[in-house]
Amino acid sequence: MIHAEAPPGVGKRCEAPGNVCSVRDAMPMPAARPKQLPSTTAPSRHVYDVIVLGSQLGGALAAVMLAKRGYGVLLVEHDGTGPGYEHGGYLLPYAPFIAPSLKTMPAVEEAFTEVGLTTELQRHQQPHVPELQLVMPHHRLDLHADPARRSAEFVREFGSEGERVLADLSASLRQHEPSDAFFKEEPPLPPDGLLEAWNLKRRRGQHPGLETELRLAGEDAPSRLLRGLRPFAVHLDHPTSALARTRPLSQALQTPWRYPGGRDGLRQLLFERLQELGGDLLSSSNTDTYVVEELHFEGSRFSGVKLLRSDTLYRASCLVSATDAGALRRLMTGRKKHRGLSDQLDQSTIKSFLFAVNWVVPEAMLPRGMGELLLLDTEDAELGALLVQLHPARSADGKEDPSLRVVCAGGFVPASVRDLGESYLQTLAQRIDAHLNTLMPFTQGKRLLRSAPYLDASAVRGSRLMPHPHYVVDAEAALGVTGLKQQTPTKNLLLAGREVLPGLGLEGEFLAGIRATRLIQEMLKKKPVLRR
C-alpha cells in the first residue's frame, strides 16, 4: 500500500502552462509543413529493392534508413497491434513500456539523427513523475533523477543503512557508459563466420567495460526489487552474462521514460517518417490488406510476398524480417526446400511473456503520492515484480478524459500458461487485481473497467498478444546477448527482429535494424542517394 505520509504533491503531475504565441502583423509565421496522410489503397508499384516484413522496431528503423538512403522500400506490418485495443469504450495499452533516453544508446541516437527524428523523439519522450517509485511491503521509495532528492528518500526510509544501497544504485546508473564506445563501432553482432567472430573477440578485448558486473548486487529488499526491472528491459530469458545483466538495466534505471502510445507510438513515428521519405506502408492504419499469406521463393532465394485477400505478388531483391521466428516460419511453404532457414528459426523459443491488466479509475481515487511508474514487490514467486504505469484515459476515438486514469500493471508468466485455458488466465488477472487493490485501496468499488489484453483484445491474432516476450535461443550467444544470426541460409533474407539481440532489449532491436541496413546495402551494391 502507498504510505499515507507521502509528501504532499509527490507523484502528481505538474501541468505546464500553455504556449503563448505572439502575432506579428508585418511578418506572419510560416505555415507548418502539412503532414502526409496515409494511403488508404494498395501501392501502385509492385517491385521494390527491399520488403520489410513485420512490426518490430528494428525493421521499422531499417525501412526508414533504407528509404532515406534512396532505396525502394515496402513495409508490410503483418503482425502489428495498432495504437492500443478498444474495450468498454476506452483505448487501452497492451502493456507497460519504458524507453531509455537516446543518450544512453549512442549508436541508435546516430541512426535517429540520420533520418531526422532525434528532435521529435526527444520532444515527445518525457520522464515519469517521479522517474521510478519502488513499493515494498513496508517501504516506499521515490527514485528521483536529482541525486539530493534521491538521497533524502533513502535516508527517510532506511536511515544510514540505506547509504550502501544508494551508492550501488548511483554507480549502476552509469554502468552502461563504459560499453558505449564498443557499440558505436558497429561490432558484428551476432558474428557470422570465423572472420567476424575473430573480429568481435579482438574488439571485445579492447573494451573491458563489457565484462563489468552489476554493482546493484545486494540481497536487501530495494536492491532485489530494482533488479526486478531487468525483465522489462530485455528479451532474453534469465540473462547470464555481465553485459546482458548490466547494460539494459543501467539504461532503464537512468531514464525510465515514457513515449506517448508506448511501443506502438514509437513504431507509428517511424512509419510516418517512412512515408514522408517515399516508402510504401501496408498497415492496419491504412488498409485491410496488410497480413502476409505466404513467402515466395525462386530456387533458394526469396522473391516476394503474397497478402491475404489479394492476388498481387509484391516482389523485392531482399527481405528484412521483423516478426517473430515462429510467425515467419508459418509463412514458408515447402519447408523441406528451405531446411536451413527453417532449422535456424527453430532455434528460438518463447519462454515467458508480459501478462498485463488495465484498470480505468477516477484520478481522484488514486493514493496521494502514487507515482506514474511503479515497481511493485508482490512477494509472488510466479509473478515476480509488477511494473505499474499510469496513462491518461482515452475514449475509443482518442479523446482524453482528464478526470480518469488507466493503471496498466504487468508481470512475466511462463508461455505455457496459454495452454492452461482461459480460466487460468482469468485467475492470473485476478491475482494482479489483488495486488492493485492493496496498492490502491480507495479505488475499490470505484473502478470503471478492468481489462486484460490477452483476454479482452478482440480480433488480435497469435503472438501479437505478447508485446514483450522472453526468448531462449539454442545457439551460441556472443557476449551473452545475441540470439538468431541476422544472415540466413536464404542469402537475400535477413532477420532484424528482437530475437537477434535479445540480451540488449530495446537497444538490441534498433541495433539489429541498423546492421540490417548496412548488410542490405552490401548485398545490393547500389550507391545510396540520401533524401531529405
CATH ID of 127-188+198-258+349-465, from 3.90.660, 1.20.1050, 2.170.240, 3.30.1360: 3.90.660
* C-alpha cell read off for 163: 547509504
Longest CA–CA separation in the chain, Å? 72
> What pLDDT was estimated at residue 523?
94
Residue 22: CB atoms within 10 A of its CB come to 5
Q: Tell me, what's the pLDDT at 20? A: 31
Question: Cell for 119?
Answer: 528532435
The class level of CATH for 47-80+283-347+474-524 reads alpha beta
User: Coil, strand or helix: which one is 73?
Assistant: strand
Measure the CA–CA gap between 226 and 254, rounded to whole angstroms. Answer: 12
Using alpha carbons, select from 341, 344, 347, 348 the residue that is nearest to residue 491.
341
Taking the C-alpha atoms of residue 454 and residue 329, their distance in angstroms, rounded to an integer, is 23
- What local confidence, expressed as pLDDT, does residue 162 receive? 87
Pinpoint the alpha helices (H) of 147-189.
Answer: 147-158, 163-172, 180-184
Contacts of range 386-391, beta carbons closer than 8 Å, 24 or more positions apart = 386/410, 386/411, 386/432, 386/435, 387/96, 387/98, 387/229, 387/232, 387/411, 388/96, 388/436, 388/439, 389/93, 389/96, 389/97, 389/98, 389/128, 389/258, 390/366, 391/93
What is the distance between the alpha carbons of residues 340 and 295, in angstroms, rounded to a whole number? Answer: 16
What string of pLDDT tens digits covers the 532 residues of the chain? 444 333 333 333 333 333 333 322 333 333 333 344 444 567 878 999 999 999 999 999 999 999 999 999 999 999 877 778 899 999 999 999 999 999 999 999 999 999 999 999 999 999 999 999 999 999 999 999 999 999 999 999 998 888 999 999 999 999 999 999 999 999 999 999 899 999 999 999 999 999 999 999 999 999 999 999 999 999 999 999 999 999 999 999 999 999 998 999 999 999 999 999 999 999 887 777 888 999 999 999 999 999 998 889 999 999 999 999 999 999 998 777 899 999 999 999 999 999 999 999 999 999 999 999 999 999 988 889 999 999 999 998 889 999 999 999 999 999 999 899 999 999 999 999 999 999 999 998 999 999 999 999 875 544 456 789 999 999 999 999 999 999 999 999 999 999 999 999 999 999 999 999 999 999 998 765 656 5
Grid coordinates given for 424? 487460468
pLDDT in tens, 271-300: 999 999 999 999 887 777 888 999 999 999
Rg (CA), the chain: 23
User: What's the pLDDT at 157?
Assistant: 92
Looking up cell 531529405 gives: 532
CA 369, CA 13: separation in Å to the nearest integer?
Answer: 11
Q: How far, in Å, CA of 478 to CA of 200, rounded?
A: 9
What sign results for the dihedral spanned by CA atoms 130, 134, 135, 141? negative
DSSP code at position 35: P
Closest CA to 463 of 290, 346, 327: 327
Q: Tell me the whole-structure pTM to 2 decimals.
A: 0.90
Q: Which residues contact 254 (CB under 8 A, 6 or more apart)?
A: 100, 101, 104, 173, 174, 176
- Give the dihedral sign, CA 94/514/116/290: negative
Task: Return the pLDDT at 465.
Answer: 63
Dist. CA 227–CA 234, nearest whole Å: 12
Domain boundaries, the chain: 47-80+283-347+474-524, 127-188+198-258+349-465
Q: Could you count the other beta carbons within 10 Å of the beta carbon of residue 518?
A: 12
| Beta carbons within 8 Å of 111's beta carbon, 6+ residues apart | 61, 65, 510, 513, 514
CA–CA separation, 467 and 52 (whole Å): 19
The whole-angstrom separation of Cα 149 and Cα 157 is: 13
Per-residue confidence (pLDDT) for residue 4, from 0 to 100: 37
pLDDT at 26: 33
Nearest one of 374, 354, 392 to 470, comparing CA atoms: 354
Please state the separation of Cα 286 from the chain's center in Å: 23
Cell of 276: 514522408
Q: Give the count of beta carbons closer than 10 Å to the beta carbon of residue 403.
A: 9
